[in-house]
Amino acid sequence: MSKELRIGVFICHCGLNIAGVIDMGELVEYARTLPDVVYVKDNRYTCADPGQDEIRKGIKEYNLNRIIVAACSPRMHEPTFRRCVSEAGLNPYIFEMANIREFSSWCHPSTPKEATEKAKEIIKMAVAKARLLQSLDILEVPVTNKAMVLGGGIAGINTALDLAGMGFKVYLIERGESIGGHMAQLDKTFPTLDCSICIEGPKMVDVSRHPNIEIISYADLLSVEGYVGNFKVKVRKNSRYVIAENCTGCGECRDVCPIEYPNEWDENMGVRKAISVPFDQAVPLVYTVNMDHCIECYKCIDACGARQAINFDQKPEEIELEVGTIVVSTGFDIYRPYDNSLYGYGRYDNVITALEFERLILAAGPTGGKVIRASDGQKPHTVAFIQCVGSRDVNKYPYCTGFCCMYALKNAILLKEKYKDDVEVYIIYMDMRAHFKGYEEFYQRARELGINFIRGRAMHILEDPKTKNLTIRTEDMTLGEPIEVGAELVVLSTAAIPSKGTDEMARILSLTRGADGFFMESHPKLKPLDTPVDGIYLAGCCQGAKDIPYSVSQGSGAAARAATVLSQKKWKIEPIIAVVDPDKCKNTRVKCGICEKRCPYGAIKAPEGEPARVTIAMCHGCGTCVADCPSDAITQLHFTDAQILSQIRSALEENPEEKILAFLCNWCSYAGADLAGTSRFEYPPTIRAIRVMCSGRVDKDFVLEAFRLGAGMVLVAACHLPYDCHYISGNVWMKKRTDALTMVLGKLGLSPERFRVEYISAAEGVKFAGLVEEMTEQMKTLGKEKIQAENEKLQPTLERMLSRKKK
Binding site for another protein (CB under 8 A): 256-262, 266-271, 293, 295-299, 302, 336, 338, 345-346, 349-353, 356, 360, 366-367, 374
Kindly state the helix (H) or strand (E) to which residue 383 belongs, with its residue range. strand 382-389
State which residue, 5 or 274, has the beta carbon closest to another protein: 274
Alpha-carbon separation of residue 278 from 153, 363, 679 (angstroms) = 15, 16, 61
Detail the DSSP E strand segments found in 477-585: 481-487, 489-494, 496-498, 536-538, 570-573, 578-580
Tell me which of 64, 143, 275, 362 binds ligand SF4, using CB under 6 A.
275
Verify binding: residue 271, ligand SF4, rule CB under 6 A: no
State the nearest-atom distance from the C-beta of 672 to another protein, in Å.
Answer: 51
Tell me which of 299, 336, 445, 455 binds ligand SF4, using CB under 6 A.
299
Query: Alpha-carbon distance 441 to 444, whole Å?
Result: 5
* Nearest in space to 580 (alpha carbons), one of 593, 569, 570: 593
DSSP secondary structure letter of residue 397 = B
State which residue, 275 or 434, has the beta carbon closest to another protein: 275
Burial 714-724 (b: 16+ CB within 10 A, else e): bbbbbbeeeeb
For residue 620, which amino acid is it?
H
State which residue, 94 or 300, has the beta carbon closest to ligand SF4: 300
Verify binding: residue 300, ligand SF4, rule CB under 6 A: yes
State which residue, 306 or 590, has the beta carbon closest to ligand SF4: 306
Total interface residues for ligand SF4 by CB under 6 A: 14
State which residue, 45 or 261, has the beta carbon closest to another protein: 261
Find out whether 762 and 668 touch, Cβ atoms under 8 Å: yes
Verify binding: residue 295, ligand SF4, rule CB under 6 A: yes
Query: Alpha-carbon distance 281 to 295, whole Å?
Result: 26
Which of ligand SF4, another protein, ligand FAD, none does residue 156 bind to, with CB < 5 to 8 Å depending on kind?
Answer: ligand FAD
Verify binding: residue 440, ligand SF4, rule CB under 6 A: no
* Nearest in space to 662 (alpha carbons), one of 693, 700, 688: 688
Find out whether 275 and 287 touch, Cβ atoms under 8 Å: yes
State which residue, 297 or 483, has the beta carbon closest to ligand SF4: 297
State the nearest-atom distance from the C-beta of 383 to another protein, in Å.
Answer: 14
Cα-to-chain-centroid distance, residue 736: 22
Which of another protein, ligand SF4, ligand FAD, none does residue 499 bind to, with CB < 5 to 8 Å depending on kind?
Answer: ligand FAD
Which of another protein, ligand FAD, ligand SF4, none does residue 508 bind to, with CB < 5 to 8 Å depending on kind?
Answer: none
Verify binding: residue 294, ligand SF4, rule CB under 6 A: yes
DSSP secondary structure letter of residue 729 = S
Find out whether 543 and 536 touch, Cβ atoms under 8 Å: no
Which of ligand FAD, another protein, ligand SF4, none does residue 182 bind to, with CB < 5 to 8 Å depending on kind?
Answer: ligand FAD
Alpha-carbon separation of residue 689 from 81, 379, 643, 692 (angstroms) = 21, 73, 14, 10
Which of another protein, ligand SF4, ligand FAD, none does residue 67 bind to, with CB < 5 to 8 Å depending on kind?
Answer: none
State which residue, 380 or 730, has the beta carbon closest to another protein: 380
Which of ligand SF4, ligand FAD, another protein, none does residue 358 bind to, with CB < 5 to 8 Å depending on kind?
Answer: ligand FAD
In sequence order, the 6+-apart residues with CB closer than 8 A to the CB of 732 are: 721, 722, 725
Find out whether 612 and 587 touch, Cβ atoms under 8 Å: yes
Kindly state the helix (H) or strand (E) to which residue 20 belongs, with its residue range. none
Q: Which residues bind ligand FAD (CB under 6 A)?
A: 150-156, 173-176, 181-183, 186, 189-190, 221, 329-332, 334, 354-355, 358, 403, 407, 410, 499, 501, 505, 540-541, 546-549, 551
Helix residue ranges per DSSP H, 291-449: 299-304, 354-361, 404-419, 439-448
State which residue, 294 or 745, has the beta carbon closest to ligand SF4: 294
Query: Alpha-carbon distance 642 to 41, whole Å?
Result: 28
State the nearest-atom distance from the C-beta of 297 to ligand SF4, in Å.
Answer: 4
Tell me which of 47, 195, 259, 372 binds ligand SF4, using CB under 6 A.
259
Which of another protein, ligand FAD, ligand SF4, none does residue 366 bind to, with CB < 5 to 8 Å depending on kind?
Answer: another protein
State the nearest-atom distance from the C-beta of 393 to ligand FAD, in Å.
Answer: 17
In sequence order, the 6+-apart residues with CB closer than 8 A to the CB of 20 are: 105, 109
Query: Alpha-carbon distance 236 to 220, whole Å?
Result: 5
State the nearest-atom distance from the C-beta of 252 to ligand SF4, in Å.
Answer: 11
State the nearest-atom distance from the C-beta of 428 to another protein, in Å.
Answer: 20
State which residue, 17 or 290, has the beta carbon closest to ligand SF4: 290
Which of ligand FAD, ligand SF4, another protein, none does residue 175 bind to, with CB < 5 to 8 Å depending on kind?
Answer: ligand FAD
Q: Of 122-130, 287-295, 380-388, 645-653, which segment contacts ligand SF4 by CB under 6 A? A: 287-295
Verify binding: residue 304, ligand SF4, rule CB under 6 A: no
For residue 585, which amino acid is it?
C
* Nearest in space to 8 (alpha carbons), one of 49, 50, 56, 48: 56
State the nearest-atom distance from the C-beta of 470 to another protein, in Å.
Answer: 13
* Nearest in space to 730 (alpha carbons), one of 650, 665, 675, 683: 665
What number of residues does the chain have?
A: 807
State the nearest-atom distance from the C-beta of 656 to ligand FAD, in Å.
Answer: 56
Which of another protein, ligand SF4, ligand FAD, none does residue 367 bind to, with CB < 5 to 8 Å depending on kind?
Answer: another protein
Which of another protein, ligand FAD, ligand SF4, none does residue 289 bind to, with CB < 5 to 8 Å depending on kind?
Answer: ligand SF4
State which residue, 133 or 221, has the beta carbon closest to ligand FAD: 221
**For residue 302, how many other CB atoms are within 10 A of its CB?**
12
Q: Of 16-24, 100-108, 132-140, 290-298, which segment contacts ligand SF4 by CB under 6 A? A: 290-298
Which of ligand FAD, ligand SF4, another protein, none does residue 355 bind to, with CB < 5 to 8 Å depending on kind?
Answer: ligand FAD
Detail the DSSP E strand segments found in 13-59: 37-43
State the nearest-atom distance from the C-beta of 592 to ligand SF4, in Å.
Answer: 54
Which of another protein, ligand SF4, ligand FAD, none does residue 275 bind to, with CB < 5 to 8 Å depending on kind?
Answer: ligand SF4
State the nearest-atom distance from the C-beta of 209 to ligand SF4, in Å.
Answer: 29
The SS3 of residue 680 is coil
Query: Alpha-carbon distance 527 to 524, whole Å?
Result: 6
Burial 456-481 (b: 16+ CB within 10 A, else e): bbbeebebeeeebbbebebbeeeeee
**For residue 50, how many other CB atoms are within 10 A of its CB?**
10
State which residue, 152 or 344, has the beta carbon closest to another protein: 344
Which of ligand FAD, ligand SF4, another protein, none does residue 704 bind to, with CB < 5 to 8 Å depending on kind?
Answer: none
Please give the residue ranges that form the binding site for ligand SF4 (CB under 6 A).
Answer: 256-259, 274-275, 289, 294-300
